[in-house]
Structure formats: structure tokens, C-alpha cells
Amino acid sequence: MERKSIHWDLVEEILSRVPVKSVARLRSTSKEWNTLLKSGSFAKKHSANAPKESLTIMLLDSRVFLVKVNLHGIHDGFAPSVKVAGQFNLRDPFSKHSQVHIDNIYHCVEGLLLCTTNENRLLVVWNPCSGETKWIKPRESYTKFDDYALGYDNESSCKNYKILRMIRPASLLVNECEIYDFASDSWRVLVVTREWALSCRGMSMKGNSYWVAHDGTRIFLQSFDFSAERFQTLSLPHEFPYSSGATLSVDGEEQLCLFGSSSNNLDVWATTRPGSVMSWRKLLTVKGEFLFWHNMSFLADEQKKAVVCCNKYRRPAKSKCLDIVGENKHIQVDPLDGDSSCISSYCSVILNYVPSLLHI
């Protein structure tokens, strides 16, 4: 019995260092392995030991796809590409054979996705790698004007995940918020006083969330601290007038990226020191004609000096749904080219995704 225990400890140690995508496939090996790989203690050990993987996911026609981005040779005459490499299926909790249609994805935290769905506009927190879900009912009701963010309390000994719901009325200014606390499994009203509105979708980084916001005169960076449960205004790389546009992305889980227009240029910036005082450095400047719009979803590649953007206003029947833009390069691609099983490729979100075995 002792030798078997030592052997099993060694197996656990080895598996804790295997990338999460490979570990997920091993659950069908045996009942013992499945029990181990689904345990909370193994998830913590795996998070500490295994190398982090950075994947790309897209929301295409209400479904989440894993995509492979190849930007090799973009500046040397070669054709870059974005191709579908797999699909994550979100199952209806009341019908195992029915797939849920996703309306929107809010940036993931440690392998978790926060999604709104077409089915009665319910919220779901979903780990696509494990298939685990948590469906969240509203305190009263959800509306199509709501904005959401997923984060966690950095100051608690055990991470307490929370959801911020911002209820956006017909007017620009937003003053009503709610917090969903995973520990208490309940919503509560958050009293805030604000004189600004959001200009882009939120991005989560190290437990907190960030947006580009405006006050009708200028645009700036707005953050929400899930530990203190308060908003804070932060600096952008330079002064952006209200007439300009800017949107956010996250590289991995450590770096916030900004794509902004000003002075007839489109610039991509990255944070070098996230915190109460933001420090930025420029990654690239996009030259030539390119349609930039508020709330654009994009990914930046510093090494290749390029960004991949999804144009949710471009219908696939007329043109491609993704733009790959370099300093002096602009092409359009369709990740579903040649896939006859999909009728269209309407893309609304592209995200950097770091998978994990985290339990909800």
C-alpha cells in the first residue's frame, strides 16, 4: 500500500506540470485519474506548477471557437491567417443535447468566461476547459443595456470571485450597480456616484477590471477594484479628446493593451507598470486607411508588430470578418474559410484566453 501511495504521489506531481489542454484530455484514462484531475487540491497544485498557455478564442455566430493565429511573415510578403482549431460547447443545463447560444463574452479571469446568453438573458460563468458552469439568476431582471465584469478579491486569503453588473439606462450616465458575490451566492446593490459612461468592453487583469470611459469632453481609463469595490480614474498614454476613439485588450493575464486614434494616427500601447499610476509604452503605429470604431475587439502581437481586429459591423455575406493590421499592412481574413458546416462567420469578440482547471 505504501509503494502504491508513493507511486500515485509521483503521478500527481508529474500531471501537475502538464499543460492544461493535455491534462483535460486525460480524464477519460480511468476513474482514479478523473477524480484526481477534477479535485480542487489538484487544480491549485496545477495552477502553481504547470506552464501558462495563451490561446485565442472567438465568438462566432453565438458559439465559442478556439482559433490559431499565424502572423509569420506579415511584413515580408507572406499571407497571415486565422483558422478555427476547435469549438467549446456550452450545454443547456436542462437539456444535455442542446447547445446554448451565447450573446456576449466578458473577459475571462484565470480560465473562466462570463457570458450572457440568448436564453432569457441568463448569466453563466463557464470554464470551457473543464466544462464546469455556474448559472446566475438576476436579483430582479437583466436588461440588454447591462454591462458586466468578472474579478476577484485580492485581499482575501482565498480568492472570492465577484461579478459587477452596471445597469445602463437610456441616458449616457450610469449610477446604478450590483455586485454578485460567489461566497454568499447573492446580489447586493452598490451605491456609487459617477459622471461618466463606458466607451468599450471591460478587460480583467489580476482580479480587477478596466474600461475606456468618457465624460463628454475627454476619454480616460476607468478601473474597478473588486477588493475595495470602488471605481478609480487612471491615466492613458496621453490626452485623448472625446472625438477620438480607444479600446482595450489584455495580453495573457499580465499586460493591458490600448488601441487608440488621435492626430490622424492609430497607435497601440501596452502597460509596463499596472497600478494606481499607469505607465505605458508604444507597441506600433498603424498607417494608411483603416476603419476604427468604438468598442472594437482586438489582439496585439508586439513581436510581429500587428493587431488582429474583429469587425462586428461587417456582415460575412459581403466581406471577411477579421482585419489583420500591421504598420504598413492591412488584409482581411475569414477564420471559417473552407468550412462548409458554418453558414456565416459573424464575429463579435476575439480574446486572449489562458485556460485553467480552476473550479467555480
Arch. (CATH architecture) of 52-353: 6 Propeller (2.120)
pLDDT bucket at 319, cuts 50 / 70 / 90: low
> To 5 degrees, how large is the angle CA 189–CA 190–CA 196?
130
Average pLDDT over residues 51-63: 86
In this prediction, residue 1 has a pLDDT band, given cuts at 50, 70 and 90, of very low
Domain boundaries, the chain: 6-51, 52-353
- Judge whether residue 140 has pLDDT over 60: yes
Residue-wise pLDDT for 273-309, tens only, equals 656 678 899 988 887 667 777 678 899 988 888 889 8
Average pLDDT, the chain: 80
Long-range contacts of 80-87 (CB under 8 A, 24+ apart): 80/306, 80/324, 80/331, 80/333, 81/333, 82/56, 82/308, 82/322, 82/324, 82/333, 82/335, 83/335, 83/337, 84/60, 84/335, 84/336, 84/339, 87/63
Instruction: Give the pLDDT of residue 303.
Output: 86
- At residue 108, the 3 state secondary structure works out as strand
Phi, psi of 258 (to 5 degrees): -125, 130
- Read off the C-alpha cell for 237: 498614454
